[in-house]
Amino acid sequence: MSVYAGMNMGERILFVRENCGDLSQEEFAKRLGMTKSAISGYETGRRIPTDSVLKHIAREFRVDEGWLVEGNGEPFEPDDGDVLEEIFHRFNCSEFERAFLREYLFLPEHDRIEFSAYLERLFRNTADALGLEKHSTAPTPVLQSPREMSREEIHAELDRQLDEEKEAAENASGFGHGKSGRATG
């Protein structure tokens, strides 16, 4: 039987706070963007955290969400740090690259998918606007034979991409502007 068996949710939250830097309730709350009284309420059982609060705690402190919610398994996820450090070393990553990759890899899957899709559109639109060939074997467009753009060309391309993003956002939300300029939807 696990040493964590029998802990209620408040005790598990307290365990996380004390075992992730021995933080005060105020420090723990600050990292989560919450108040000290909310944390106190969760730990004592006076308040029940929402699913989104539990997900946030699990993500911020790299705690297994199943353990935090149900008490099943072990509290801490396996350490990915060794794997990442090996990759960083192998590819001689700069500090910026290390920080960027860590942040990207630990984004929720939905956010990673959206970010990747945005980058794909950006590269595709830039390649199309510049009339550059795309690398046929790459999963995402790769620019070849780049030429210098004038300041006006850069601004025009950025304006075009911004307009495209706005239009896509309007279409996705179901609201748009008709020819009269008034909002429709």
What are the pLDDT digits (tens) for 31-78?
999 999 999 999 999 999 999 999 999 999 888 899 999 988 888 765
On the CB side of 120, CA atoms within 13 Å amount to 9
pLDDT at 1: 53
The pTM (predicted TM-score) of the whole model is: 0.44
**Across all residues in the chain, what is the average pLDDT?**
80
pLDDT at 90 over 80: yes
Residue 61 CA to residue 17 CA, distance in Å, equals 9
CB 45 within 8 A of CB 10: yes
φ and ψ at 180, to 5 degrees? -75, -15
Structural domains in the chain plus CATH codes: 9-70 (1.10.260.40), 108-175 (no CATH)
Beta carbons within 8 Å of 27's beta carbon, 6+ residues apart: 21
Q: Which has the minimum average pLDDT: 37-46, 117-126, 149-158? A: 149-158
